[in-house]
Amino acid sequence: MKLNALNFSGGPGALPESVLEQTRDAIIALPDTGMSVLGMSHRSDWFRAVLDEAEQNLRHLLGVSDDYAVTFLQGGSSLQFAMIPMNFAARAVAPPEYVSTGYWSAKATTEAAKVTERNIIWDGGATGYRSLPDLQALGVAPSAAYLHYVSNETVEGLQFPDCKQGAIAAPLIADMSSDFLSKPICTAAYSMIYAHAQKNLGPAGVTVALIERALLDRIPNGLPAILDFRTHVQHSSNYNTPPVFAIYVLMLVTRWLRDDIGGLHAMQTINERKAQRLYDTLDALGDAVTVHAQPRWRSRMNVAFTFGDSRLDRAFIRVAREQGLTGLEGHRSIGGLRASLYNAVGEAAVERLAAVLTEFSLQRA
Protein backbone atom coordinates (compact mmCIF):
# COMPACT_ATOMS: atom_id res chain seq x y z
CA MET A 1 0.00 0.00 0.00
CA LYS A 2 1.32 3.48 -0.85
CA LEU A 3 2.25 5.61 2.17
CA ASN A 4 -0.26 8.30 1.14
CA ALA A 5 -3.07 5.81 1.72
CA LEU A 6 -1.82 5.18 5.27
CA ASN A 7 -1.78 8.84 6.28
CA PHE A 8 -4.09 9.26 9.30
CA SER A 9 -3.19 12.93 9.75
CA GLY A 10 -5.76 15.40 11.03
CA GLY A 11 -5.16 17.52 7.92
CA PRO A 12 -3.72 18.16 5.46
CA GLY A 13 -4.22 14.47 4.95
CA ALA A 14 -4.50 11.71 2.39
CA LEU A 15 -5.87 12.52 -1.07
CA PRO A 16 -7.20 9.94 -3.55
CA GLU A 17 -4.34 8.29 -5.44
CA SER A 18 -5.94 8.97 -8.83
CA VAL A 19 -6.23 12.67 -7.96
CA LEU A 20 -2.56 12.79 -6.96
CA GLU A 21 -1.59 11.22 -10.29
CA GLN A 22 -3.63 13.73 -12.29
CA THR A 23 -2.20 16.55 -10.17
CA ARG A 24 1.36 15.36 -10.76
CA ASP A 25 0.75 15.40 -14.52
CA ALA A 26 -1.01 18.76 -14.39
CA ILE A 27 2.01 20.39 -12.75
CA ILE A 28 3.95 19.66 -15.94
CA ALA A 29 1.19 19.93 -18.54
CA LEU A 30 -2.58 20.02 -18.24
CA PRO A 31 -4.26 17.58 -20.64
CA ASP A 32 -6.56 20.31 -22.00
CA THR A 33 -4.07 23.19 -22.43
CA GLY A 34 -0.57 21.68 -22.43
CA MET A 35 0.41 24.33 -19.85
CA SER A 36 1.44 23.79 -16.24
CA VAL A 37 -1.49 24.26 -13.87
CA LEU A 38 0.83 26.46 -11.79
CA GLY A 39 1.12 28.97 -14.62
CA MET A 40 -2.53 29.18 -15.62
CA SER A 41 -4.13 32.61 -15.45
CA HIS A 42 -7.08 32.99 -13.14
CA ARG A 43 -8.74 34.98 -15.94
CA SER A 44 -8.41 32.15 -18.47
CA ASP A 45 -11.39 30.30 -19.96
CA TRP A 46 -9.78 27.15 -18.63
CA PHE A 47 -9.99 28.39 -15.02
CA ARG A 48 -13.54 29.67 -15.51
CA ALA A 49 -14.46 26.11 -16.55
CA VAL A 50 -12.68 24.67 -13.49
CA LEU A 51 -14.58 27.00 -11.14
CA ASP A 52 -17.85 26.17 -12.89
CA GLU A 53 -17.30 22.43 -12.68
CA ALA A 54 -16.21 22.59 -9.03
CA GLU A 55 -19.38 24.51 -8.22
CA GLN A 56 -21.61 22.22 -10.26
CA ASN A 57 -20.11 19.09 -8.72
CA LEU A 58 -20.62 20.47 -5.21
CA ARG A 59 -24.21 21.42 -6.02
CA HIS A 60 -24.82 17.94 -7.42
CA LEU A 61 -23.13 16.04 -4.57
CA LEU A 62 -24.84 18.00 -1.80
CA GLY A 63 -28.11 18.90 -3.50
CA VAL A 64 -27.50 22.65 -3.17
CA SER A 65 -30.30 24.78 -4.61
CA ASP A 66 -29.98 28.13 -6.41
CA ASP A 67 -31.02 29.81 -3.17
CA TYR A 68 -27.40 29.41 -2.15
CA ALA A 69 -24.23 30.93 -3.54
CA VAL A 70 -21.22 28.63 -3.72
CA THR A 71 -17.98 30.51 -3.08
CA PHE A 72 -14.29 29.63 -2.93
CA LEU A 73 -12.45 31.76 -0.38
CA GLN A 74 -8.98 32.11 1.10
CA GLY A 75 -7.77 32.59 4.67
CA GLY A 76 -8.81 29.13 5.84
CA SER A 77 -11.64 28.45 8.23
CA SER A 78 -9.92 30.75 10.72
CA LEU A 79 -10.77 33.77 8.57
CA GLN A 80 -14.40 32.67 8.64
CA PHE A 81 -14.33 32.87 12.45
CA ALA A 82 -13.90 36.65 11.95
CA MET A 83 -15.72 37.24 8.65
CA ILE A 84 -18.98 35.64 9.76
CA PRO A 85 -19.58 37.99 12.70
CA MET A 86 -18.35 40.98 10.64
CA ASN A 87 -20.89 40.22 7.93
CA PHE A 88 -23.88 38.85 9.79
CA ALA A 89 -23.92 40.28 13.33
CA ALA A 90 -23.94 44.06 12.82
CA ARG A 91 -27.49 44.51 11.52
CA ALA A 92 -29.22 41.79 13.53
CA VAL A 93 -31.73 42.50 16.32
CA ALA A 94 -29.95 40.23 18.81
CA PRO A 95 -26.34 39.01 19.07
CA PRO A 96 -25.23 35.72 17.53
CA GLU A 97 -25.19 32.59 19.68
CA TYR A 98 -22.30 30.15 19.88
CA VAL A 99 -21.88 26.65 21.25
CA SER A 100 -18.41 25.89 22.54
CA THR A 101 -17.93 22.18 22.04
CA GLY A 102 -14.20 21.80 21.47
CA TYR A 103 -10.92 23.38 20.45
CA TRP A 104 -12.14 24.82 17.15
CA SER A 105 -15.55 26.12 18.22
CA ALA A 106 -13.86 27.74 21.22
CA LYS A 107 -11.57 29.55 18.76
CA ALA A 108 -14.55 30.68 16.70
CA THR A 109 -16.21 31.96 19.87
CA THR A 110 -13.11 33.88 20.96
CA GLU A 111 -12.66 35.48 17.54
CA ALA A 112 -16.32 36.49 17.33
CA ALA A 113 -16.00 38.35 20.66
CA LYS A 114 -13.44 40.67 19.07
CA VAL A 115 -15.98 41.74 16.47
CA THR A 116 -19.35 41.63 18.20
CA GLU A 117 -21.24 40.95 21.36
CA ARG A 118 -22.09 37.24 21.33
CA ASN A 119 -23.69 34.69 23.65
CA ILE A 120 -22.23 31.31 24.49
CA ILE A 121 -25.30 29.18 25.07
CA TRP A 122 -23.48 25.90 25.78
CA ASP A 123 -19.92 25.25 26.88
CA GLY A 124 -18.40 21.80 27.24
CA GLY A 125 -14.99 23.11 28.33
CA ALA A 126 -15.43 22.41 32.05
CA THR A 127 -16.12 18.73 31.35
CA GLY A 128 -13.19 18.33 28.93
CA TYR A 129 -15.17 18.46 25.68
CA ARG A 130 -16.33 14.83 25.69
CA SER A 131 -19.98 15.30 24.76
CA LEU A 132 -22.21 17.57 22.69
CA PRO A 133 -25.56 19.24 23.31
CA ASP A 134 -28.80 18.60 21.44
CA LEU A 135 -28.88 21.83 19.41
CA GLN A 136 -32.62 21.78 19.04
CA ALA A 137 -33.12 21.64 22.82
CA LEU A 138 -31.01 24.73 23.46
CA GLY A 139 -33.84 27.14 22.71
CA VAL A 140 -31.95 29.44 20.39
CA ALA A 141 -33.50 32.93 20.25
CA PRO A 142 -35.29 33.42 16.90
CA SER A 143 -34.02 37.01 16.82
CA ALA A 144 -30.37 35.92 17.23
CA ALA A 145 -28.14 36.97 14.32
CA TYR A 146 -27.32 33.29 13.87
CA LEU A 147 -26.29 30.15 15.73
CA HIS A 148 -22.72 29.04 15.02
CA TYR A 149 -21.47 25.52 15.66
CA VAL A 150 -18.74 23.14 14.51
CA SER A 151 -20.32 19.99 13.09
CA ASN A 152 -17.27 17.82 13.76
CA GLU A 153 -14.71 18.71 16.41
CA THR A 154 -11.49 17.61 14.73
CA VAL A 155 -9.33 17.64 17.87
CA GLU A 156 -11.61 15.86 20.35
CA GLY A 157 -13.31 13.58 17.83
CA LEU A 158 -16.92 14.66 18.52
CA GLN A 159 -19.54 14.81 15.77
CA PHE A 160 -23.05 16.23 15.73
CA PRO A 161 -25.81 14.31 13.98
CA ASP A 162 -27.28 16.09 10.95
CA CYS A 163 -29.47 19.04 11.58
CA LYS A 164 -33.07 18.88 10.43
CA GLN A 165 -34.58 21.64 8.36
CA GLY A 166 -36.38 24.18 10.55
CA ALA A 167 -35.01 22.71 13.80
CA ILE A 168 -33.27 25.94 14.81
CA ALA A 169 -35.19 29.21 14.95
CA ALA A 170 -32.24 31.46 13.99
CA PRO A 171 -30.07 31.20 10.84
CA LEU A 172 -27.79 28.23 11.32
CA ILE A 173 -24.09 28.53 10.42
CA ALA A 174 -21.84 25.46 10.53
CA ASP A 175 -18.10 25.02 10.31
CA MET A 176 -17.97 21.65 8.55
CA SER A 177 -14.23 21.73 7.90
CA SER A 178 -13.63 18.19 9.04
CA ASP A 179 -16.74 16.33 7.87
CA PHE A 180 -17.80 18.18 4.70
CA LEU A 181 -18.33 15.79 1.77
CA SER A 182 -17.99 12.74 4.05
CA LYS A 183 -21.76 12.12 3.93
CA PRO A 184 -24.94 13.69 2.55
CA ILE A 185 -26.32 16.64 4.51
CA CYS A 186 -29.59 18.53 4.54
CA THR A 187 -28.17 21.76 3.13
CA ALA A 188 -31.56 23.47 3.38
CA ALA A 189 -31.26 23.37 7.20
CA TYR A 190 -28.37 25.83 7.05
CA SER A 191 -27.97 29.48 6.19
CA MET A 192 -24.25 29.02 5.72
CA ILE A 193 -21.85 26.11 5.63
CA TYR A 194 -18.09 26.50 5.34
CA ALA A 195 -15.24 24.04 5.12
CA HIS A 196 -11.59 24.41 4.31
CA ALA A 197 -10.23 21.99 1.76
CA GLN A 198 -7.41 20.22 3.57
CA LYS A 199 -9.45 17.35 5.02
CA ASN A 200 -11.81 15.85 2.45
CA LEU A 201 -11.67 18.32 -0.42
CA GLY A 202 -8.09 18.89 -1.53
CA PRO A 203 -4.95 20.77 -0.49
CA ALA A 204 -4.86 23.72 1.92
CA GLY A 205 -5.45 27.15 0.39
CA VAL A 206 -9.15 27.20 -0.41
CA THR A 207 -12.27 27.28 1.76
CA VAL A 208 -15.71 26.47 0.36
CA ALA A 209 -18.64 28.52 1.64
CA LEU A 210 -22.27 27.86 0.77
CA ILE A 211 -24.24 30.98 1.66
CA GLU A 212 -27.98 31.41 1.52
CA ARG A 213 -28.50 34.39 -0.77
CA ALA A 214 -31.13 35.91 1.56
CA LEU A 215 -28.45 36.24 4.24
CA LEU A 216 -26.38 38.53 2.01
CA ASP A 217 -28.96 41.30 2.53
CA ARG A 218 -27.90 41.50 6.17
CA ILE A 219 -24.33 42.54 5.42
CA PRO A 220 -23.51 46.10 6.52
CA ASN A 221 -22.01 48.49 3.98
CA GLY A 222 -18.46 49.70 4.41
CA LEU A 223 -16.65 46.43 5.03
CA PRO A 224 -13.31 46.08 3.23
CA ALA A 225 -14.20 44.47 -0.11
CA ILE A 226 -12.14 41.33 0.49
CA LEU A 227 -13.97 40.71 3.80
CA ASP A 228 -17.46 41.23 2.37
CA PHE A 229 -19.11 38.01 1.18
CA ARG A 230 -20.99 39.92 -1.52
CA THR A 231 -17.70 40.71 -3.26
CA HIS A 232 -16.92 37.02 -3.70
CA VAL A 233 -20.45 36.17 -4.80
CA GLN A 234 -20.58 39.05 -7.30
CA HIS A 235 -17.17 38.19 -8.77
CA SER A 236 -17.88 34.44 -8.89
CA SER A 237 -14.92 33.74 -6.56
CA ASN A 238 -12.55 35.54 -8.92
CA TYR A 239 -12.24 39.00 -7.29
CA ASN A 240 -8.52 38.91 -6.59
CA THR A 241 -6.19 36.06 -7.61
CA PRO A 242 -7.76 32.88 -6.26
CA PRO A 243 -5.69 29.78 -5.38
CA VAL A 244 -5.95 28.30 -8.87
CA PHE A 245 -3.99 25.16 -8.02
CA ALA A 246 -5.97 24.33 -4.86
CA ILE A 247 -9.29 24.89 -6.63
CA TYR A 248 -8.19 22.68 -9.53
CA VAL A 249 -7.34 19.81 -7.17
CA LEU A 250 -10.60 20.34 -5.29
CA MET A 251 -12.45 20.04 -8.60
CA LEU A 252 -10.66 16.74 -9.29
CA VAL A 253 -11.68 15.46 -5.83
CA THR A 254 -15.33 16.33 -6.45
CA ARG A 255 -15.10 14.46 -9.79
CA TRP A 256 -13.63 11.47 -7.94
CA LEU A 257 -16.52 11.54 -5.46
CA ARG A 258 -19.06 11.80 -8.25
CA ASP A 259 -17.63 9.26 -10.70
CA ASP A 260 -15.40 6.84 -8.78
CA ILE A 261 -17.18 6.72 -5.42
CA GLY A 262 -20.68 7.29 -6.80
CA GLY A 263 -21.81 10.14 -4.56
CA LEU A 264 -22.07 10.94 -0.88
CA HIS A 265 -24.40 8.10 0.14
CA ALA A 266 -21.79 5.64 -1.08
CA MET A 267 -19.04 7.65 0.63
CA GLN A 268 -21.00 7.63 3.88
CA THR A 269 -21.42 3.84 3.79
CA ILE A 270 -17.67 3.39 3.44
CA ASN A 271 -16.90 5.97 6.14
CA GLU A 272 -19.36 4.35 8.58
CA ARG A 273 -17.71 0.96 8.04
CA LYS A 274 -14.24 2.40 8.61
CA ALA A 275 -15.24 4.14 11.85
CA GLN A 276 -17.13 1.10 13.11
CA ARG A 277 -14.12 -1.12 12.48
CA LEU A 278 -11.79 1.16 14.39
CA TYR A 279 -14.11 1.81 17.36
CA ASP A 280 -14.88 -1.93 17.61
CA THR A 281 -11.14 -2.61 17.72
CA LEU A 282 -10.58 0.01 20.43
CA ASP A 283 -13.57 -1.18 22.48
CA ALA A 284 -12.28 -4.76 22.30
CA LEU A 285 -9.06 -3.60 23.97
CA GLY A 286 -11.05 -2.83 27.13
CA ASP A 287 -9.30 -0.75 29.79
CA ALA A 288 -6.07 -0.59 27.80
CA VAL A 289 -7.37 2.38 25.80
CA THR A 290 -9.69 5.31 26.40
CA VAL A 291 -11.63 6.96 23.59
CA HIS A 292 -11.91 10.70 24.28
CA ALA A 293 -15.53 11.11 23.14
CA GLN A 294 -18.52 9.68 24.96
CA PRO A 295 -19.93 6.85 22.78
CA ARG A 296 -22.98 8.75 21.58
CA TRP A 297 -20.92 11.60 20.14
CA ARG A 298 -18.05 9.69 18.56
CA SER A 299 -16.89 11.18 15.29
CA ARG A 300 -16.71 9.07 12.11
CA MET A 301 -13.86 11.26 10.90
CA ASN A 302 -11.49 11.75 13.85
CA VAL A 303 -10.94 9.05 16.44
CA ALA A 304 -9.15 10.54 19.48
CA PHE A 305 -7.89 8.00 22.02
CA THR A 306 -5.04 7.21 24.38
CA PHE A 307 -3.31 4.27 26.01
CA GLY A 308 -3.48 6.40 29.16
CA ASP A 309 0.25 7.04 29.37
CA SER A 310 2.20 9.35 27.08
CA ARG A 311 5.14 6.90 26.92
CA LEU A 312 2.83 4.17 25.65
CA ASP A 313 1.23 6.55 23.17
CA ARG A 314 4.67 7.50 21.85
CA ALA A 315 5.69 3.84 21.67
CA PHE A 316 2.58 3.11 19.61
CA ILE A 317 3.37 5.95 17.22
CA ARG A 318 6.85 4.44 16.68
CA VAL A 319 5.48 0.94 16.07
CA ALA A 320 2.82 2.27 13.72
CA ARG A 321 5.39 4.26 11.77
CA GLU A 322 7.45 1.12 11.22
CA GLN A 323 4.33 -0.31 9.52
CA GLY A 324 3.99 2.79 7.31
CA LEU A 325 1.15 4.34 9.34
CA THR A 326 1.63 8.09 9.92
CA GLY A 327 -0.17 11.12 11.32
CA LEU A 328 -1.40 9.38 14.47
CA GLU A 329 -0.22 11.96 16.99
CA GLY A 330 -3.04 13.62 18.92
CA HIS A 331 -3.51 17.37 18.60
CA ARG A 332 -1.01 19.35 20.70
CA SER A 333 -3.84 20.72 22.87
CA ILE A 334 -4.94 17.33 24.27
CA GLY A 335 -2.09 14.96 23.39
CA GLY A 336 -2.76 11.24 23.07
CA LEU A 337 -3.47 9.69 19.70
CA ARG A 338 -5.81 10.50 16.85
CA ALA A 339 -6.67 8.55 13.73
CA SER A 340 -8.36 10.69 11.09
CA LEU A 341 -10.44 8.63 8.70
CA TYR A 342 -11.00 11.14 5.91
CA ASN A 343 -12.49 10.05 2.59
CA ALA A 344 -9.19 9.08 0.95
CA VAL A 345 -8.16 6.80 3.84
CA GLY A 346 -9.38 3.44 2.57
CA GLU A 347 -10.74 0.41 4.38
CA ALA A 348 -7.50 -1.50 3.86
CA ALA A 349 -5.63 1.23 5.74
CA VAL A 350 -8.08 0.98 8.64
CA GLU A 351 -7.65 -2.81 8.67
CA ARG A 352 -3.89 -2.32 8.91
CA LEU A 353 -4.30 0.17 11.78
CA ALA A 354 -6.70 -2.18 13.61
CA ALA A 355 -4.22 -5.03 13.32
CA VAL A 356 -1.30 -2.92 14.57
CA LEU A 357 -3.37 -1.64 17.51
CA THR A 358 -4.42 -5.12 18.56
CA GLU A 359 -0.95 -6.55 18.30
CA PHE A 360 0.58 -3.63 20.19
CA SER A 361 -1.87 -4.11 23.09
CA LEU A 362 -1.44 -7.89 23.20
CA GLN A 363 2.32 -7.48 23.44
CA ARG A 364 1.96 -5.12 26.37
CA ALA A 365 -0.74 -7.06 28.23
Enumerate the active-site residues: 104, 175, 199
Q: How far is the CB of 15 from ligand PMP (least distance, A)?
A: 16
Amino acid at 227: L
| 244 Cβ contact partners less than 8 Å away, ≥ 6 residues apart | 37, 38, 40, 42, 47, 50
C-alpha–C-alpha distance, residues 79 and 227, integer Å: 9
Q: How far is the CB of 289 from ligand PMP (least distance, A)?
A: 23
Could you list the residues that contact ligand PMP (CB under 6 A)? 11, 76-78, 104, 150, 154, 175, 177-178, 196
Helices 347-364 and 264-284, packing angle to 10 deg: 10
Closest CA to 89 of 223, 275, 271, 180: 223
Q: Which is nearer to ligand PMP, 22 or 271 (CB)?
A: 271
Residue 217, classified by CB atoms within 10 Å of its CB into exposed (0-12), middle (13-18) or buried (19+), is: exposed
Q: Which is nearer to ligand PMP, 40 or 211 (CB)?
A: 211
Closest CA to 336 of 132, 179, 157, 178: 157
| Contact assessment for residue 261 and residue 57, using Cβ atoms and an 8 Å cutoff | no
Q: Which is nearer to ligand PMP, 175 or 313 (CB)?
A: 175
Q: How far is the CB of 157 from ligand PMP (least distance, A)?
A: 11
C-alpha–C-alpha distance, residues 154 and 39, integer Å: 34
Q: How far is the CB of 314 from ligand PMP (least distance, A)?
A: 22
C-alpha–C-alpha distance, residues 326 and 349, integer Å: 11
Amino acid at 248: Y
C-alpha–C-alpha distance, residues 280 and 275, integer Å: 8
Q: Which is nearer to ligand PMP, 76 or 324 (CB)?
A: 76
DSSP 302: E
C-alpha–C-alpha distance, residues 84 and 307, integer Å: 39
Q: Which is nearer to ligand PMP, 101 or 187 (CB)?
A: 101
Q: How far is the CB of 179 from ligand PMP (least distance, A)?
A: 8
User: Which residue in the shown chain puts its C-beta closest to ligand PMP?
Assistant: 76
